[in-house]
Structure 1
């Protein structure tokens, strides 16, 4: 029986536009022009008699029915990609594990460990679903995902990765030139690196940690935490460091604590299995390895219930 559907290329254009929320980026992915994407979406809307996008200048957003169709198509394409990948993996004999973490954790915490990971799991093909910004509590569509649980939420105890601990950190070169927040160099002005639109800015941190910010300090504002950390690594200022991302940097002295003030938010970071991921097996072993690795970091920089970065201490309230 013949399917009564519009041409497939119209659906492909719509799916890309919906995923990117941008016709130009969809066109770039598909290798066609932006007007061609716009015409394809308009043709699909006309064929099915439903408005899929609300257009306002260069920006577009999905209608309720557009979001419904987009979700269905994304899930279908994900399933097709996963099926094809499984065929390839069976032929190669490798076991794929899809890991959902923040881009900053991938860049500064996990990628430097990939050599050790491959030694521990030579038959595992580790893949990434990277999240820009905080990981939050969004559903885990990957095999394994790091998520943040507030104090009031309960996460499976076996999934615990690390408490949310925040501390000011900076490169050794910066501290030698400028001093710490507690002992600044005379006639020097600190630069505080911060994230835009984040719940924990420097004023919030100072209030919660009991820290007096230096007067007349300069600021550098970034929208991406990985870039903010890289700026601190380059000796350009002091950044608020989330231990779940900075533990390796502290362990190997790429960054040092820039104050003896810090605090535990009582939230936790946990590695949660995806809905379709079986308990145990290779994914469970990968989770155990990740948790063991951060444990090694904390053991190196921790002492007597306090976190410290060698000569610089961070108090955890």
Structure 2
């Protein structure tokens, strides 16, 4: 069936001419000559049997018909462009691996590892989504979730990624302000000289840490934050000392942005899990990613 549609070049010239109200500027944008744009507009007007512009001495004026046509044509051009862009970025030969992870875990622990996985497995197209509540994740849209052990994904198979360990961290600048000591000279009872930083969802973090160090629980007044990434940045900027999971603090400890003046990390009863739906247990992308990550 022959479609009653003008050329795409004419439509692009029309759209650009309306935006600029100038054939010359439209030509510059489209890398055409002014006469070529003018000719395309004339051909379009003949095709429609309607005047789209009023040509004055040094300017263009859009007619009512031109304005109505523009309003209908632009969404169609946008749709055509988006369809082309989607096809250009589409990789049919690749299998998608969709991972949902806690935002801070994804940023500070998963990303440094994911680049190596992608390099070793270029056949997969990876998508990473933010995880808020494991129990509410749609198993149809997600292949794997990386989550905190207290959150459960119904009808899922779970593997322990790691036990959680926490460490007290602060910035080197804060440590220098509080006392002129070498890093190995700090004693755990010096912790009371710091301002305490808290994660609002873990109110027992400091009391539990104090008990693990053989100290009596006391006052832990200090700033509180809703997310670990906020707590981490507060510690890095010298607001106080924070209890952080080692998997989230390790990069900042390695770069020297944070220090751990009170030594070794302490194990908690918690864990991080890798989970996937029962009916996706045999999918190639799930099996390969699971085995790769658990081997690390």
Alignment TM class, shorter chain as reference = 0.5 to 0.7
Structure 1 residue aligned with 2:162: 162
Match of 1:191 in 2: 195
Q: Name the CA shift for 1:206/1:278 in 2 (closer, same or farther; >3 Å).
A: same
Say whether the 8 Å CA contact 1:98–1:143 is kept in structure 2.
yes
Say how many residue pairs are matched: 197
Which residue number corresponds to residue 176 of structure 2?
A: 176
- The 2-side partners of 1:183 and 1:203 are apart by 13
Please state whether the residue corresponding to 1:205 is helix, strand or coil.
Answer: helix
3-state SS in 1 of match to 2:280: coil
Match of 1:221 in 2: 224
Displacement after TM superposition at 1:252 (Å)? 4.6
Instruction: Select the structure of larger CA radius of gyration.
Output: 2
* CA distance in 1: counterparts of 2:215 and 2:291, whole angstroms: 36
- Cα distance change, pair 279–177 in 1 and its aligned pair in 2 (3 A): farther
- The yes-or-no answer on 1:263 pairing with 2:266 is yes
- CA distance in structure 1 between the partners assigned to 2:292 and 2:251 by the alignment: 15
Calculate the aligned-residue CA RMSD, in Å: 3.6
Deviations 1:244-273 (A, max 9, x none): 333444445443323236532233222111
Match of 2:211 among 207, 220, 236: 207
Distance 1:275 1:174, change over 3 A: farther
2: CA distance, partners of 1:213 / 1:259? 16
Contact 1:96 1:124 in 2 (8 A): yes
Distance 1:198 1:184, change over 3 A: closer
TM-score w.r.t. the length of structure 2 is 0.54
Change (3 A) 1:146 1:114: closer
State the distance in 2 between where 1:274 and 1:102 align. 17
**C-alpha distance in 1, partners of 2:248/2:136?**
19
Q: Is residue 232 from structure 1 mapped to residue 235 from structure 2 by the alignment?
A: yes
Question: Which protein has greater RCO, CA pairs closer than 8 Å, 6+ apart?
Answer: 2
Query: Any idea what SS the aligned residue of 1:235 has?
Result: coil
CA 290–176 in structure 1, closer or farther in 2 if over 3 Å, else same = farther
Residue 120 in structure 1 maps to residue 96 in structure 2: no
* Secondary structure of residue in 2 paired with 1:257: coil
Conservation of the 8 A alpha-carbon contact between 2:147 and 2:273: yes
- Cα deviation for residue 138 of structure 1 reads 6.3
Q: How does 1:70-85 map to 2 (within 5 A)?
A: none
Verify the 8 A CA contact 1:191 1:218 in the aligned structure 2: yes
Separation in 2, partners of 1:143, 1:209: 40
Cα distance, 1:218 vs structure 2? 5.7
The answer (yes or no) to whether the contact 2:157–2:278 under 8 Å persists in 1 is no
